[in-house]
A and B are shown apart, each in its own frame.
Chain A
Amino acid sequence: MTFLLALYAFLLRAYPLEFRRSYEREMSLAFKDLLQCEARNSGAAGMIGLALRVFPDLVACIIREQIGTQEAKQLAKWGLVAMSIVAIQTMCYFSTIAYSSIDVLLGCCLLIGAADPKHLWRWSIVLAASHPILRLSRICLQVESYNVEFFYEFAFIIPAVIFSYFGLATRAFIVRYSAPDAGGMGRKSRFALLCVGCIAVGFSIGSWEIGPLSAACSMEYLAIFSLVLGALAPKPLIPAMLLGFGVPAFEVLMKSTHHQPLKDGNAVLFGWIPLLCVALALAASSARKSLLRMSDSVMVITP
């Protein structure tokens, strides 16, 4: 019994400090009472059975409490930036004409903006500067040959900062007009997000295909917005379909405006882009529902 009590007390240290101050003593007392009751009624077997029920429950509750703390959120932001750097470097390594590391950088900046960290501009500068700095280090280590082009990559700090604040503004709009506790976004927010998504994707298709980057980079934005839509909207099917049909329609419109010939692939886009959007949105939606269900049903139930 002493061992189980000590183990329980040790695990309680994993709770956030604020929670521990309020409930640590009470929880220890409750567990001690439970143990004594089981010891009286069922002996050692009862105590082991109790431990097998209570400890998994405790771990699940610790995770739930920790996820809600500021420290965890800050850690998540560091993690997001670290993952973004890895993604950019990976994309740089496998760089093709269709997908560039700059696309990933801008997409990651949108996400970081949506995470709303303190001093957002610093985070986006760090992220944008990490790519040329790492490249410079590779040049210094003679892994990569010297090329002055890496210096120009510092110029991407400016769009990176702009994109991160774009993400922040989208988040602010969603928070302002939605009721997250009710299970999703409001109608206005869904509409706003759809507009923002269409503008961003349209911007990437319309201007970048004509410009130096390729049209395929728009797919990252499309994927990101479909996922966000699915995670936030209670009924994401119709907005995702609108987004999916809107993008090729926008592309056709932009091409006809710029007097560019339509390719055979444009017709195909009307088929698989909406499918992709719907699939991603539904996947994010079901993931969100599963998480909500998990967090609501953490309870020890004996048959």
Chain B
Amino acid sequence: MSRDRSLFELARRLEPLTPAVLHILMALADGERHGYGIMQAVAAQSDNSVRMGPGTLYGSIKRMLAAGLIEESDERVDVNHGDERRRYYRLTGQGQQTFKAEIQRLNRIMNLPAAKHALSGEGPQ
């Protein structure tokens, strides 16, 4: 009961997700990444139309860690990006559930007749 309530509270707090949070969840859906890796993934997923600054990224990461959507995995060197140690982040179970729920919500919107008309270029009937 209390778990259901806390999940409900979480969903109420987070839905609909902010664009930054959604993009980070999407970037981490494929596996763990460090901060710059997340920025690259976001840019790649959006065909460079969305570029997240480090300020937005780490502000969102802080809030997502607090909400239990992501967690730190470990700190290690990424051979592709210098020899500094970097902190990696990954989705938690809760984060995966939230991401799934958000995608389903967006999917429902996309299946609405008005959305289909808008995408096909037809006017409202």
B62 contacts across to A, CB distance below 8 A: 19, 22-23
Please pick, from A30, A65, A181, A302, the residue contacting B54 in the complex, using a CB distance under 8 A: A30
- Contact between chains at A61 and B55 (CB < 8 Å): yes
**What are the residues of chain A within 8 A of B48 when measuring CB–CB?**
302
- The answer to whether A29 touches B86 (Cβ under 8 A) is yes
Residues of A within 8 A of B87 (CB): 26
Contacts A30-B35, A65-B59 given; indicate if A54 touches B86 (C-beta within 8 A).
no
Interface size on B, residues (CB 8 A): 29
Q: How far is the CA of A64 from the CA of B18 in the complex (A)?
A: 15
User: Residue A26 contacts which of B50, B56, B58 (CB distance < 8 angstroms)?
Assistant: B58
CB contacts under 8 Å to B, within A9-45, are: 19, 22-23, 26-27, 29-31, 33-34
Q: For B9, list chain A residues within 8 Å (CB).
A: 181
CA distance A23 to B55 in the complex (A): 10
Q: Does residue A299 face the partner (Cβ distance < 8 Å to B)?
A: yes
Q: Is the CB of A301 within 8 A of B51?
A: yes
Chain A positions within 8 Å of B81 at CB level? 33
**Interface residue A58 (Cβ < 8 Å from any Cβ of B):** yes
A64 to B36, CA, bound (A): 22
Interface string of A159-185 (1 = CB under 8 A from B): 000000000000000000001011000
How far apart are the CA atoms of A54 and B36 in the complex, in Å?
A: 14
Q: Counting CB contacts under 8 A, is A141 at the interface?
A: no
Total contacts A-B at CB 8 Å: 82
A27 touches B49 (CB 8 A): no
Q: How large is the interface on A (under 10, 10 to 19, 20 to 34, 35 or more residues)?
A: 20 to 34
Interface residues in B74-117 by Cβ distance below 8 A to A read 81-82, 84, 86-87
Closest beta carbon of chain B to A190's beta carbon, Å? 18
Task: Confirm or deny: A60 has a beta carbon within 8 angstroms of a beta carbon on chain B.
Answer: yes
Contact: B55 with A182, CB < 8 Å? Answer: no
Asked if A57 is an interface residue, CB under 8 A from chain B, the answer is yes
Closest to A303 in B: B49
Known contacts A26-B35, A64-B59; A34/B12 CB under 8 A: no
**Which of A23, A58, A65, A303 has the largest count of B CB atoms less than 10 A from its CB?**
A23
Closest A residue to B23 using CB positions: A299
Mostly, the B contact residues are: helix
Say whether B20 faces chain A, with CB atoms less than 8 Å apart: yes
- Kindly identify, within residues 25 to 73 of chain B, every residue whose CB is under 8 Å from any CB belonging to chain A: 34-36, 39, 48-59, 61-62
Asked whether A29 and B51 contact (CB < 8 A) given A57-B56, A182-B12, A300-B56, the answer is no
Interface: A264 (CB within 8 A): no
Taking the nearest CB of chain B, how far is it from the CB of A103, in angstroms?
39
User: A70 within 8 Å of B by Cβ?
Assistant: no
Tell me, in angstroms, the Cα distance from A297 to B50 when the chains sit together.
Answer: 12
Known contacts A30-B35, A64-B59, A182 near B13 by CB under 8 Å:
yes
With A57-B56, A58-B53, A64-B59 as known contacts, state yes or no: A297 contacts B39, CB within 8 Å.
no
- Name which residue of chain B comes closest to A182, CB basis: B12
A298 at the interface (CB under 8 A from B): yes
A27–B38 Cα distance when bound, in Å, is 12
**Is A34 a contact partner of B58 (Cβ separation < 8 A)?**
no
15 contacting pairs across A/B (C-beta < 8 A) = A22-B62, A26-B58, A27-B35, A27-B55, A27-B58, A29-B84, A33-B81, A57-B55, A60-B55, A61-B53, A61-B55, A298-B55, A300-B51, A300-B53, A302-B48
- A positions within 8 Å CB-CB of B: 19, 22-23, 26-27, 29-31, 33-34, 53-54, 57-58, 60-62, 64-65, 179, 181-182, 296-303
Binding site for A on B (CB under 8 A): 9, 12-13, 18-20, 34-36, 39, 48-59, 61-62, 81-82, 84, 86-87
